[in-house]
Amino acid sequence: MRTIRIAVAGTGYVGLVTAAVLAHVGHDVVGVDVDEERVRTLNSGGCPIFEPGLPELLEESRDNLTFTLDYREACADADVVFIAVPTPERVDGSANLKYVFASVEQVAEAMGSSCVVVVKSTVPIGTGDRVQRHLATLLAGTGREVEVVANPEFLSQGTAVKDMLHASRVIIGVESERAREVMARVYADLPSPLLFMERRSAEMVKYASNNFLALKIAYINEIANLCDLLGADIDDVARGMGADPRIGDKFLRAGIGYGGSCFPKDTKALHWLSSFHDREIKTVKAAIEVNAVQKISLIKRAHRYHSDFEGLTVAVLGLAFKPGTDDLREAPSLDNVAILLDAGADVRVWDPYAMDNFKRFYPDEVTYCASIPEALADADMCLILTEWPDVLSLDPAVFVEQMRHPLVLDGRNCYALDEMARHALVYESIGRRTVGTAR
Ligand code: UGA
Contacts of 191 (CB under 8 A, 6+ apart): 166
Q: Is 431 in the pocket of ligand 1 (CB under 6 A)?
A: no
Tens digit of each residue's pLDDT, the chain (439 residues): 567 999 999 999 899 999 999 999 999 999 999 999 999 999 999 999 889 999 999 999 999 999 999 999 999 999 999 999 999 989 998 999 999 999 999 999 999 999 999 999 999 999 999 999 999 999 999 999 999 999 999 999 989 999 999 999 999 999 999 999 999 999 999 999 999 999 999 999 999 999 999 999 999 999 999 999 999 999 999 999 999 999 999 999 999 999 999 999 999 999 999 999 999 999 999 999 999 999 999 999 999 999 999 999 999 999 999 999 999 999 999 999 999 999 999 999 999 999 999 999 999 999 999 999 999 999 999 999 999 999 999 999 999 999 999 999 999 999 999 999 999 999 999 999 999 975 4
- 3-state DSSP assignment of residue 328: coil
* Residue closest by Cα to atom 3 of ligand 1: 156
* Residue closest by Cα to atom 36 of ligand 1: 251
Give the helix ranges, DSSP H, for 91-126: 98-110
Cα–Cα dist 424/437, whole Å: 9
Cα–Cα dist 227/231, whole Å: 5
Q: Is 263 in the pocket of ligand 1 (CB under 6 A)?
A: yes
Q: Is 13 in the pocket of ligand 1 (CB under 6 A)?
A: no
Report how far apart, in Å, the C-alpha atoms of 12 and of each of 124, 198, 270, 326, 393 are.
Answer: 20, 27, 23, 14, 32
Give pLDDT, residue 359. Answer: 98
Rg (CA), the chain: 24
Residue 409: Cβ-neighbour burial (10 angstroms; 0-12, 13-18, 19+):
buried
Which atom in ligand 1 lies closest to the alpha carbon of residue 332? 26
Give pLDDT, residue 19. Answer: 98
Residue 81 alpha carbon to ligand 1 centre in Å? 27
The sheet carrying 28-32 orders its strands as 65-68, 28-32, 5-9, 80-83, 114-119, 145-150, 170-173, 194-197
Give pLDDT, residue 258. Answer: 98
Give the pTM. 0.94
The answer to whether 1 touches 57, Cβ cutoff 8 Å, is: no
Give pLDDT, residue 3. Answer: 78
DSSP 333-398: HHHHHHHHHHTT-EEEEE-SSSHHHHHHH-SSSSEE-SSHHHHHTT-SEEEE-S--HHHHT--THH
Cα–Cα dist 276/243, whole Å: 38
Residue 223 alpha carbon to ligand 1 centre in Å? 19
Residue 349 alpha carbon to ligand 1 centre in Å? 23
- 3-state DSSP assignment of residue 194: strand
Cα–Cα dist 353/161, whole Å: 19
Residue 369 annotated as catalytic: no
Cα–Cα dist 374/317, whole Å: 11
